[in-house]
Structure formats: structure tokens, C-alpha cells
A = this chain, B = another copy of it.
Amino acid sequence: MNLAPHPFTLRQLQYVVAVADSLSFRKAAERCHVSQPSLSAQIAQLEGVLEVQLFERDQRRVLLTAVGAQLVERARRLLVDVEALTEAARRAGDPLSGTLRLGVIPTVSPYLLPAVTPALRRHFPRLTVRWLEDKTEVLTRELERGGLDAALVALEADLGDVESAVLAEDPFFLVTPKDHPLGQKKGAASPSELRGQDVLLLDEGHCFREQALALCSKARAHELEFRATSLPTLTQMIASGAGVTLLPALAVATEVKRSELRVRPFADPAPKRTLALIWRKRSPFTGALREVAGAMKDAWPRK
């Protein structure tokens, strides 16, 4: 890309087009809302820098030269493009229109999006959301890089210096096979029950794994060697007797439809994660994102 300052002005092009249209400097000046000398000067200057005579003129008439005609055509198209650019930018200026690039973690995405997507469409009809599902670390990196405008993550993870709006508390549940000793117990569960148990957790990198793992190691539970790649497979494996696990409330309704599983809440203070929308401080979308977060909160799936 050439860096040298451009030798002419958009306004000069406008003047040229106006003169070509009316074949009169006077009329063209009038239509451009400038004085005729100003317009003359600009045309002359353009002809000067291009070293081309665009119009052939004497006291009574103005004619387009062949070069002039060619340049006018190009100028016309160019001005239309400029117009389009302006318009596009202006319309995109409304932050609740255009495209918002949102990240979301995999332990939230499948349970939340079915409820939230239509709500957003309803609230912000001019807004298009592009979702990126990935683990927190990737999301925060993309956010930092500017590849994302915001992300939906758990505040308990390591997020760096961001602004956030809390969407919901998401308490954890103890999930066991129905015939498992822990599944037999009545009432709320306590973390201490996990002591010595075989616990199945998610793969590395999931923030939910980190939280669950913290709980388990405090309770001296025993993590199984193999790990699940997603909550559906995790649930599946528990159902087939692999051990016990934790599930966030958000996932419970969807995952635990089969009667072989027993789901018990934890006694207060229940372990939980805090789901929030986060974005860069100084993001130009701060205002819009607060609104979006509000809409998400309202649309949050109630258990």
C-alpha cells in the first residue's frame, strides 16, 4: 500500500463530477454549495497535479476531454464506494446491530444457547451473534487479542483484567448411580461424603474440572485415571457405573433424564460456579454488552 499522501481530494472528485454533469462551472458550483471561483480553483489544481486537462473551456462552453470523461467515470464509481463505506460504518456504529463475536465455554454452551439465542434475536433484532465454543484459556486469549468481543465464562477461572456482568450462580450437584451408596443417602450432600470415592471428572483445561477437582482433593476423593471429554459422556459413564461425579445445575436438567442416576444438591454453602459475561475494559461495546448480559440473565434457563 502506497503511503505517500494522496495528491487530490474527494471533494475535488465531486467537483469534477458535478462539472461533468452540468457542463458548467457556475451551475456545478451552485450544486456543490461553493462559490464558482473556489470550484474553478479546485478543478485547476486537480488538473495540475494530474498534469491532465480534464475540461476544455472557454467563456461560453465547457467540454469534457477524453481523459476527463474517463476520469469522471472512475470518480463516479469511487464516490459511490465512499458513500457505501460511510453508510456501512455508520450503521455498524449502532453497537446493537452488526456482528458481536461471543465466546462460550463447552460446559455452558449446549445448555444455554437453546434458550439464550432466540431471546437475543428477539431483543436485538439487528444484532448477529457469532459464537465460538472453546475452553476458558482459549477464550481469554482471543478476547485479549481482539478476536472476540466478549465471552461467557465462569468467574472462578483465571481471566485476567476484564470487566464482567454476572449472569447466574450455577451450583454443583452430586451425581451418582441410583444404586450407589452415596445415591442411597437422604437429604443434601456434603463434600466430606466424597472421601475415598472414585470420582470421574472432565478432561484437562475445562474450568469446571478445576473447580470440581479442587473440591475433590480437599475431600480426599480419588480421581479416576480416565477423563471425560464432555458432560454428556461424563454422565453416560457415571450411568454405566464408572463412579460418581459433580454436575452444574445448568447441565443437570438436560443430562439427567434417565432414572439410573441420583442427583443430590450440596448443603449450604453449596459449591458453585458464577457464570458471567466478560469483556475487555475499554471495549467500545461496554454499554451494549451490559444490555446483552441483561437479556441473557432474563432468558436464563430456570431449573
Q: Are A78 and B78 in contact (CB under 8 A)?
A: yes
Give the shortest distance, in Å, between A287 (CB) and chain B (any CB): 11
Q: Which residue of B lies closest to A6 (CB)?
A: B10
Interface residue? A83 (CB, 8 A)? yes
Chain B residues within 8 Å of A10, by CB: 6, 8-10
Q: Please determine whether A52 and B90 come into contact, CB atoms closer than 8 angstroms.
A: yes
Q: Are B93 and A51 in contact (CB under 8 A)?
A: yes
A286, chain B: closest CB distance, angstroms: 10
Q: Is the CB of B5 within 8 A of A31?
A: no
Pick from A63-71, A213-221, A232-240 the stretch touching chain B. A63-71
> Are the CB atoms of B2 and A52 closer together than 8 Å?
no
List residues of A (1-39) whose CB comes within 8 Å of B's CBs. Answer: 1-3, 5-11, 14, 17-18, 21, 31-33
Query: From residue A134, how far is it (CB to closest CB) to chain B in Å?
Result: 18
A117 at the interface (CB under 8 A from B): no
CB distance from A236 to the nearest CB of B (A): 38
CB<8 Å pairs between A and B, sample of 27: A1-B17, A2-B83, A3-B14, A3-B18, A3-B31, A6-B11, A6-B82, A8-B10, A50-B86, A50-B93, A51-B90, A52-B89, A56-B284, A58-B282, A63-B145, A63-B146, A65-B146, A66-B99, A66-B100, A66-B101, A67-B89, A67-B92, A70-B88, A71-B88, A74-B81, A74-B84, A78-B82
A53 at the interface (CB under 8 A from B): yes
Which chain B residue lies CB-closest to A58?
A: B282
CB distance B283 to A56 under 8 Å? yes
Task: Report if A206 contacts B (CB, 8 A).
Answer: no
Interface residues contributed by chain A, number (CB under 8 Å): 61
Interface: A85 (CB within 8 A): yes
A76 CB within 8 Å of chain B: yes
Name A265-303 residues within 8 Å CB distance of B: 280-284
Q: How far is the CA of A63 from the CA of B149 in the complex (A)?
A: 11
Query: At the interface, yes or no: A98 with Cβ under 8 Å from chain B?
Result: yes
A79 at the interface (CB under 8 A from B): yes
A75: interface (CB < 8 Å): yes
CB neighbours of A67 from chain B (8 A): 89, 92-93, 98
Cβ contact within 8 Å between B3 and A11? no
| Residues of B with C-beta under 8 A to A98 | 66-67
Q: Which residues of B contact A82 (CB under 8 A)?
A: 6, 78
> A76–B282 contact, CB under 8 A?
no
Query: What is the bound-complex CA distance between A146 and B100, given in angstroms?
Result: 53
Which residues 91-129 of A have a CB within 8 angstroms of B? Answer: 92-93, 98-101
User: How far, in angstroms, from A289 to B276 measured CA to CA in the complex?
Assistant: 76
